[in-house]
Amino acid sequence: MAAAATTTTAQDTSSVPPLAYSGRVQLKELLDRSEAAVGQRVVVGGWVKSAKEVEKTAPPPSIATTDDTAREGGKGKDVSCVEILQSRIPLIRSILDVFGGGGYGQRKKRENVTAPNDKVLPPKASTAYLLLTDGSCAPSLQVVVDSSVATPSRLVPTGTCLLVEGQLERAEGKHAIELIAEKVLHIGTVDFDKYPLSKKRIPLDTLRDYSQFRPRTTTVATVMRIRSSLSFATHTFFNEHAFIDVQVPIITSTDSEGFSNMFRVNTLEQKAEKEKLETVYETEGVSLEHVKAAAKEKSNIVEHLERTESNREALAAAVQDLRKTNELASQLEAREKRKLGASFKDDKVDSSKEFFPFQTYLTVSGRLHLESYACALGNVYSFGPRFLADKTNSAKHAAEMWMIEVEMAFSQLKDSMICANDFFKYLCNWVLVHCSEEMTFVAKRIDNTCMNRLRQIISGSPEMMTYHKAIDVLRKSSSQAEDKKFETNFESGFVLTSEHLSYLTDMIYQKPVMIYNYPKEAKPFYARQNDDGTVAAFDLVVPKVWSEVCVDRLAQLCALFFCVEVFRNFCS
């Protein structure tokens, strides 16, 4: 009895537990512990990434002999020799049908008439092989569903949502384990013709029109898992170093930077604009919304034709139709803008009815709030969204971004620089340890040098230099290199651009560079002034990012350099 109890306990310990608030098992835990999970009954949920249906080969039917009929005591059905030949030998059956065949065809027809409720022949047996993913990891789990459990045609379309119960078994080929389905608890069907995802890669720009499906792509899902892990790592690092997390207001009446373009927060102007728009739409025979909806639908048709590799004539006609619809939408939009301009020209808004009694904005930075908290609590930090209304063609700047801002009491600039370097190395090491599968995908599909670059950053130290030294290095490089000439004259107070920073990190030093002691003209008003006229501020510049990661005492964390471009491509 004791030995049996010990064995049971060991088995329970090795099994993969379900999620705390759900009866299903997460695929990441399942695939990470595949050997221990073999033989376990689990419930998994997710959506079909790809699938195929394989028809089973039916075994040859057995033919009852005369002895079998005799053994049944004469109770078997009387079968004539002609019927046996017709059912077993196709050639003879065909010949007999031509010459009458003893009236078999007529008798069968007569049986159908007299017995209309006879059972229809069942569909051919088949097996569906599904690759199921739930977003917890990049790999998928193979699920085998027999046609006796669920209709395969309902399961195989890409994007179908499933909740399946079954037993895990070892699999052959590239899959370590597979789930033999015993019950299909839920099927969420999709319209396959309108579902944009397929086995082929879809350009990231195309996914902007399908925001609800973007997280289902492997690229976006991988980046989001990395970002979630880095967010947790951020709070872990500062918690380990006795920092206090402070939440700063998102809506504010102050400009923390002193020179930023900020988003205004108001309500009355939006209501007035909505009323004017409704008036314009009512006076027009054609609605701009309807034209845009038609353009969107025609764009989906074009993408479907391209994805299914249809004939060129149909695709060319669809593209021409889409172009005309877009031209009509542009004309209507331009006409409505002219009418709105004239409509709003003399319109005035009663500010006394505004929600806030004074003008408010979306915050650019929470540093002013953090400074007061640092004076009371010591070391503090904030991690949240910040907004900047600067129009730029660069993909490295977004209207909405998440920033880490840090304030440390009784610390010098050197202390802040050490903190920034330690924090960045901590993130690099964290992502290698906790996001190994995601990093493997990133190295394969996005940047094959990312993992080596992470290891180099962890093992090395950044190049430390003052702003004036950086200017001298760039000036010297520009004069010596014939293929590299910077257009801007290097003068004191000049703001280093992404081109200059990338040249320092990628071409000259080939590692992170930390630039400090800027001229006061190049930094905000609140930077502390040094005795030599410079201000105590620094930038941590990392290869392949081409912009500052840590600015002014660890003010900004953009995104980790190996996925920054991918992440920013999905900022709306």
Closest Cα to residue 541, out of 435, 442, 467?
467
Q: How far apart are CA 76 and CA 78, in angstroms?
A: 6
Q: How far apart are CA 328 and CA 326, in angstroms?
A: 5
Judge: domain 2-56+124-194, CATH 2.40.50.140: yes
**What confidence score (pLDDT) does residue 77 get?**
45
Q: Of the candidates 371, 421, 374, which has an alpha carbon nearest to the alpha carbon of residue 527? A: 371
Cα distances (angstroms) measured from residue 163 to each of 24, 41, 464: 8, 14, 55
Angle between helices 413-434 and 450-459 (to 10 degrees): 140
Question: Looking at residue 221, what is its pLDDT?
Answer: 93
Contacts of 91 (CB under 8 A, 6+ apart): none
Phi/psi of residue 465, nearest 5 degrees: -155, 150
- What pLDDT score does 425 carry? 95
Give me the pLDDT at residue 517, please.
Answer: 93
DSSP secondary structure letter of residue 529: B
pLDDT at 7: 40
pLDDT at 104: 42
Closest CA to 13 of 37, 31, 30, 34: 37
pLDDT for residue 282: 47
- Our measurement of the distance from residue 564's CA atom to the centroid of its chain's CA atoms, rounded to an integer in Å, reads 14
In whole angstroms, give the CA distance from residue 276 to residue 356: 23
Alpha helical stretches, state H, 143-217? 152-155
Structure confidence at residue 520 (pLDDT)? 85
**Model pLDDT, residue 113:** 45
Q: Rounded to an integer, what is the distance from CA 227 to the centroid of its chain?
A: 11
Sign of the torsion formed by the C-alpha atoms of 200, 203, 206 and 212: positive
In this prediction, the residues of the chain whose per-residue pLDDT falls under 70 are 1-14, 58-123, 199, 258-259, 269-286, 307-312, 336-352, 392-397, 481-493, 545-572
Q: In angstroms, rounded to a whole number, what is the distance separating the alpha carbons of residues 96 and 71?
A: 30
Report whether 204 contacts 219 (CB < 8 A). Answer: yes
Q: Is 170 helix (H, G, I), strand (E, B) or coil?
A: strand
Give the pLDDT confidence of 249-301 residue by residue, as tens digits. 999 888 777 667 888 888 776 555 555 555 544 445 567 777 778 888 888 77
Nearest to 239 by CA among 366, 428, 383: 383
pLDDT for 2:
43
β-strands 264-265, 251-252: how paired? unpaired
Q: Closest Cα partner for 220 from 203, 242, 238?
A: 203
SS3 content of the chain, % helix, strand, coil (to 5): 45, 15, 40
pLDDT score for 289 = 75
Angle between the N-to-C axes of helices 81-88 and 104-114, in degrees from 0 to 180, rounded to the nearest 10: 90
Name the residue ranges covered by the structural domains of the chain.
2-56+124-194, 66-114, 267-353
Per-residue pLDDT tens over the stretch 352-404: 677 887 888 999 889 889 999 999 999 999 999 999 887 765 555 678 888 99
Q: Among all chains, which residue has been given the structure tokens 């000439």?
A: 485
pLDDT at 527: 84
The DSSP element (H or E) to which 87 belongs, if any, is helix 81-88
Helical packing angle, 450-459 and 436-445, nearest 10° = 120
8 Å CB contact between 401 and 385 = yes
Cα 379 from Cα 388, distance rounded (Å): 26
Residue with tokens 């299914």: 308
Determine the Cα–Cα distance for residues 547 and 501; give it in Å rounded to an integer.
Answer: 7
Going by their DSSP bridges, the two strands 534-541 and 513-519 should be labelled as: antiparallel
In angstroms, the CA 563 to CA 572 distance is 17
Report how far residue 57's alpha carbon sits from residue 226's, in angstroms, rounded to the nearest whole number: 45
Residue 350: the pLDDT is: 59
Q: What is the pLDDT of residue 319?
A: 78
Q: pLDDT tens digit string along 124-148? A: 889 999 999 999 999 999 999 999 9
